[in-house]
Structure 1
Amino acid sequence: MAGLFDKQAEIYADARPTYPKEWYSMLAGLTSSHTLAWDVATGNGQAAIGVAEYYEHVVATEVSKEQLNHVKPHPRIRYEHTPLSLNDDDLVKLVGGEGTVDLITVATAIHWFDLSRFYSVVNRLLRTPGGVLAVWTYSGFEVFPLFDVVFKRFSDTTLPYFDPKVKYVLEEYRTLPFPFERLDLGFEGNPKPMDMKREVSFAGFLRFLRSYSGVTTAKERGVDLLSKEVVGELESAWGGPSLIRKVVYKGWMLIGRVKK
């Protein structure tokens, strides 16, 4: 994943939907203490800031220096650059030491990870009992039927340019390896549906599309998936550039504890 979002880091920070405050409140209610949280692949720090409302200290780590250039400072957040060359022992020490972390969050990123390595670190860091790992993503969205049909045609053109690991997102994290004691919260072990609603202009929505890794990869290969013609078709279906629409991003969350 390192470097994948560097080129669109500024767009990414501006365009991606904000995670609801209720998510963090729910997660805080699942941990036995609220001393230390670790937000992994923090990007612009969006999730870390939400977590910081409920935890005394938050360590927010990111492999991309460019992403960290766009974070929002917060008195309870310590941002750290963690290059892939950093070994696991040093990472554990950097975050806080073994068995010290109450909550670990990964927002829309775990599908890029070396999962076996990451999960090994999670098992070392999470407080037992009482610590929680929460990972989430969003896959697709709904605006209104006419636009959704037009968007589907565009979305299909991006699929050949996505990394194979994106399949976990397209499958709503249902197939993501997750070797923890799941807290299904009534969903029989399946990812918990976590929709996000946001009112956006067409210009804002277009910035969101430009932050797609598939769109960036295609452009690097000489293919403009958001050509003038495609943008025009999407804008027409939207109803015009000045119209504000309610977009429902379809989210999914997995929550677990270290197995006993």
Structure 2
Amino acid sequence: MQPLDRFSGHADLYAQYRIDYPAELYDFILSVTSNRQTAWDCATGNGQVASALADIFDRVDATDISETQLILAVKKATIHYQTSQAEQTPFASQTFDLITVAQALHWFDVNAFHQEVRRVAKPGATIAEWGYGLVQAGQDLDGVMLDFYRNRIGPYWDPQRMHIDNRYATLPFPFADAQHATFTACRTWTVERFLNYLRTWSAVRQYIYENEEDPIIGLGEELQPLWGDGEREVQFPIFLRVGRVL
């Protein structure tokens, strides 16, 4: 199965405008993680998760199929980046205390990835998988955003997007002591910052590629009068599942 790379072409935007994750999420993961020596952040993108883990673990290995993303990723002494597929890695067996994958599992061959997780995890290691759904910008904007998400760019999403919408409910998770939790990432943004975040969406990039026009321009004209000149809070609903690798 050839891995899908939907982000190399706009890695600079991704590095600038994608969100990081709240401390509460990491606290939850660490509460079920026994050891803090080695972690693997799979599909690390620009290293948001790897950077957080590097402050906790002695060594963090972070992989992605996009060399461009890794070039722009956060650099810390304890993070070791390399290009690799999720389903087949260069790591030795029983290497990691924690394995994470954020907003990327739906791109994988999930069964093959989980097989690799079982190989490279230490006995009793933690596996944590999470993602976040459609951003919420307030009642006056959410209807506009839902229409844009479903109708304007809806046909340009890859089929895998459905797994984000249903919070990975139909993707297997064959690990012990499975737990689920939800969190909210809150950000205070100008409309310009918000629109640039939307430009990182894979469906928006595909729309631009196929139509040679940016759908965010028209959306911005619709949102600006509602948003105003200042900042407003936007919320990202995060879903998480964790388990132990026996």
TMscore range, shorter length = over 0.9
How far off its partner does 1:220 sit?
A: 1.2
- Listed as ranges, the gaps of 5+ residues in structure 2 are none
Task: Write the letter of the residue equivalent to 2:232.
Answer: R
Structure 1 residues 237 and 119: alpha-carbon distance in aligned structure 2, compared to 1, 3 A threshold: same
Residue 145 of structure 1: aligned partner: 139
Residues in 2 aligned to 1:205 and 1:213: alpha-carbon distance in whole angstroms: 15
Residue 257 of structure 1: aligned partner: 244
RMSD: 1.7
Residue 206 of structure 1: aligned partner: 195
- Is residue 2:176 matched to residue 1:181? yes
**Deviations 1:151-210 (Å, cap 9, x if unpaired)?**
1221122221111111100112222221212432xxxxxx42121111111111001110
Residues in 2 aligned to 1:153 and 1:243: alpha-carbon distance in whole angstroms: 24
Match runs of 1:45-64 below 5 Å: 45-64=47-66
Task: Write the letter of the residue equivalent to 1:193.
Answer: T
Aligned structure 1 segments of 4 or more residues deviating by more than 3 angstroms: none
Task: Write the letter of the residue equivalent to 1:105.
Answer: T
Match runs of 1:114-125 below 5 Å: 114-125=109-120
Asked if 1 retains the 8 angstrom alpha-carbon contact of 2:110 and 2:171, the reply is no
Structure 1 residues 55 and 228: alpha-carbon distance in aligned structure 2, compared to 1, 3 A threshold: closer
Asked if 2 retains the 8 angstrom alpha-carbon contact of 1:64 and 1:83, the reply is no
Residues in 1 aligned to 2:139 and 2:43: alpha-carbon distance in whole angstroms: 34
Q: Tell me whether 218-227 or 106-115 shows the greater mean CA deviation.
A: 218-227
Residues in 2 aligned to 1:23 and 1:235: alpha-carbon distance in whole angstroms: 32
Percent of aligned pairs with the same amino acid:
32
Residue 205 of structure 2: aligned partner: 216
How far off its partner does 1:237 sit?
A: 2.1
How far off its partner does 1:223 sit?
A: 5.9
Task: Write the letter of the residue equivalent to 1:59.
Answer: D
The partner residue of 1:196 within 144, 169, 185 is: 185
Asked if 2 retains the 8 angstrom alpha-carbon contact of 1:28 and 1:54, the reply is no
Asked if 2 retains the 8 angstrom alpha-carbon contact of 1:37 and 1:103, the reply is yes
Asked if 2 retains the 8 angstrom alpha-carbon contact of 1:34 and 1:102, the reply is yes
- Is residue 2:17 matched to residue 1:19? no
Task: Write the letter of the residue equivalent to 1:34.
Answer: R
- Is residue 2:86 matched to residue 1:99? no
How far off its partner does 1:29 sit?
A: 2.3
- Is residue 2:156 matched to residue 1:170? no
Asked if 1 retains the 8 angstrom alpha-carbon contact of 2:46 and 2:72, the reply is yes
Q: Secondary structure at the residue paired with 1:42?
A: coil
TM-score using structure 1 length: 0.88
TM-score using structure 2 length: 0.93
